[in-house]
């Protein structure tokens, strides 16, 4: 049963009489997308109004009955504050039922499709949401009507996700393969973290149809909680000497690409899409025209970084890819894996690090060198510092220790239990 909200200004008629008469009604949020409003007239009478979100940034407003300002509430013709809320919820249920009849049954699949269409209309990337839906949500829950979902059903599905192996993406129709487990504890953390992200996609899609009043309640999925304490990944990064060994051990064309990652902190896909013209000699920046979040940004370089990028762009056409192989071919998906593994082996970096670790290396050393977290976040393409704090704020215990030793307060210790009395006290 939905909880009745409380409001000292609206619950009692005496309190409502003290409210000013105005064109804009007084309102209280009942739940996301649903408001109860009170409109008071000059003659002292008032009425209850419900305002509800119907999708596409639109709301519907409907008067649901007179308030018990002059007469006692009877729950039918005259409504108290709590009765008005109950009436508002009844209207929402009725609207959801009518919408279901009009549009047909709303399944998890139709909710997911509408959600991804919404993301794409807002120019947000729906790539992960589509992958999560196709691989993990729809095969199990896709045909289920949303109003038939239960907490136990969603919770069991969520827990099963955490038990499954880590998939290797394969082409459609190919046999599914799974990654080898090198560290069981870390593997389990990652599986639970992945299950949480997939649960987030499902909840977002279901919340959209619920906010649009196409289903009556969100109780089934709202009650399912994500796994706790599984998002703090053990980020691995290279020491400066290791990074130098890696570059020296790498083949020439891959060395340029790896150096580019270490100088920018950019993702592999961002680096491989760079054109020569994306380097700004005047500002010392590299322009990322399309990132993982579909937003452009400018990466600021150090003096060494500027010198490196100038050296690999000199005399080249502005329209060609900045990073190419020795044969002139562009770097494509997964082409970095074998060269990275070979370079790690030759550089005695064990266990081998993935290419994304070079991004972690840039961020970790930037944080350790005192670069403000917001600056690191902006260079990496994050809108705020949450991801940087989450992944890099705890990575350098020696840096933290040095900062504490340098700046934490120091206290004089009095030996042998001789405690100096404060002035004016016995």
pLDDT higher than threshold 70 for residue 271: yes
Mean pLDDT of 174-202: 82
- Distance separating alpha carbons of residues 132 and 108, to the nearest angstrom: 13
Structure-model confidence comparison of residues 355 and 123, the more confident one: 355
End-to-end CA distance of the chain: 62
DSSP 133: I
Find the range with the poorest average confidence among 12-21, 296-305, 317-326.
12-21
What is residue 93's predicted lDDT score, i.e. its pLDDT? 74
Instruction: Tell me if 330 sits within 8 A of 321, measured CB to CB.
Output: yes
Four-point Cα dihedral 122, 127, 132, 134, nearest 10:
100
Domain-by-domain residue ranges, the chain? 13-103, 108-222, 240-407
- Measured over the CA atoms of residue 376, residue 382, residue 385 and residue 389, the dihedral's sign is negative
Of 201, 310, 303, 294, the residue nearest 256 (C-alpha): 310
Instruction: Give residue-wise pLDDT tens across range 347-365.
Output: 999 989 999 999 999 999 9
Structural domain 13-103, CATH architecture: 2-Layer Sandwich (3.30)
- Measured over the CA atoms of residue 97, residue 103, residue 108 and residue 111, the dihedral's sign is negative
Instruction: Give residue-wise pLDDT tens across range 66-119.
Output: 999 888 999 899 999 989 888 888 887 777 666 655 556 889 999 999 899 888
DSSP 323: S
Share of the chain above pLDDT 70, in %: 84
397, with CB counted inside 10 A (0-12, 13-18, 19+), is: exposed
Predicted structure pTM score: 0.55
Average pLDDT, rounded, for the chain: 85
Residue at token pair 């003290």: 18
pLDDT higher than threshold 70 for residue 232: no
Share of the chain above pLDDT 90, in %: 44
- Distance separating alpha carbons of residues 42 and 198, to the nearest angstrom: 53
Query: Which class is 240-407 in CATH?
Result: mainly alpha
Structure-model confidence comparison of residues 45 and 284, the more confident one: 284
Grouping H, G, I as helix, E, B as strand and the rest as coil, residue 63 is strand
Instruction: Give residue-wise pLDDT tens across range 16-25.
Output: 888 888 878 8
- Distance separating alpha carbons of residues 415 and 420, to the nearest angstrom: 11
pLDDT higher than threshold 60 for residue 209: yes
- Distance separating alpha carbons of residues 137 and 116, to the nearest angstrom: 13
What is residue 170's predicted lDDT score, i.e. its pLDDT? 62
Mean pLDDT of 397-402: 60
Of 282, 237, 264, 260, the residue nearest 380 (C-alpha): 264
pLDDT higher than threshold 60 for residue 6: yes
């Amino acid at each position: 049963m939905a909880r009745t909200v409380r409001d000292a200004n609206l619950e009692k008629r005496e309190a409502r009489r003290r409210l000013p008469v105005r064109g804009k009604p007084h309102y209280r949020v009942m739940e996301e997308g649903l408001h109860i409003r009170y409109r008071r007239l000059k003659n002292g009478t008032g009425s209850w109004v419900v305002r509800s979100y119907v999708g596409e940034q639109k709301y519907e407003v409907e008067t649901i009955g007179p308030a018990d300002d002059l007469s006692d509430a009877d729950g039918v013709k005259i409504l108290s504050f709590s009765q008005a809320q109950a009436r508002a919820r009844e209207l929402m249920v009725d609207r959801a039922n009518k919408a279901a009849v009009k549009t047909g049954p709303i399944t998890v699949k139709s909710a997911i499709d509408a959600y991804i269409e919404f993301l794409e209309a807002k120019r947000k990337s729906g790539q992960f949401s589509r992958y999560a839906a196709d691989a993990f949500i729809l095969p199990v829950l896709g045909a289920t009507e949303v109003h038939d979902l239960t907490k136990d059903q969603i919770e069991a599905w969520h827990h099963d996700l955490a038990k499954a192996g880590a998939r290797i993406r394969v082409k459609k129709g190919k046999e599914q393969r799974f990654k080898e487990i090198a560290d069981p504890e870390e593997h389990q953390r990652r599986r639970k973290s992945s299950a949480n992200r997939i649960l987030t996609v499902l909840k977002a899609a279901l919340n959209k149809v619920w906010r649009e009043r196409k289903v009556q309640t969100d109780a089934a999925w709202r009650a399912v909680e994500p796994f706790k304490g599984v998002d703090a990944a053990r980020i691995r990064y290279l020491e400066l000497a290791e990074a130098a060994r890696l570059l020296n051990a790498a083949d020439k064309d891959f060395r340029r690409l790896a150096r580019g990652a270490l100088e920018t902190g950019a993702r592999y896909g961002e680096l491989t899409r760079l054109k020569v013209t994306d380097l700004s000699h005047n500002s010392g920046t590299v322009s990322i025209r399309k990132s993982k979040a579909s937003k452009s940004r400018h990466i600021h370089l150090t003096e060494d970084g500027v010198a490196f990028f100038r050296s690999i762009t000199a005399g080249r056409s502005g329209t060609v890819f900045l990073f190419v192989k020795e044969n002139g071919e562009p770097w494509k998906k997964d082409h970095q894996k074998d060269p990275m593994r070979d370079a790690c082996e030759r550089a005695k970096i064990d266990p081998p690090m993935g290419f994304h670790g070079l991004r972690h290396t840039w961020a970790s050393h930037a944080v350790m060198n005192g670069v403000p977290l917001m600056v690191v976040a902006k260079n990496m393409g994050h809108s705020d510092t949450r991801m940087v704090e989450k992944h890099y704020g705890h990575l350098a215990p020696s840096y933290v220790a040095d900062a504490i030793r340098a700046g934490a307060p120091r206290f004089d210790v009095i030996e042998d239990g001789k405690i100096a009395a404060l002035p004016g006290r016995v």
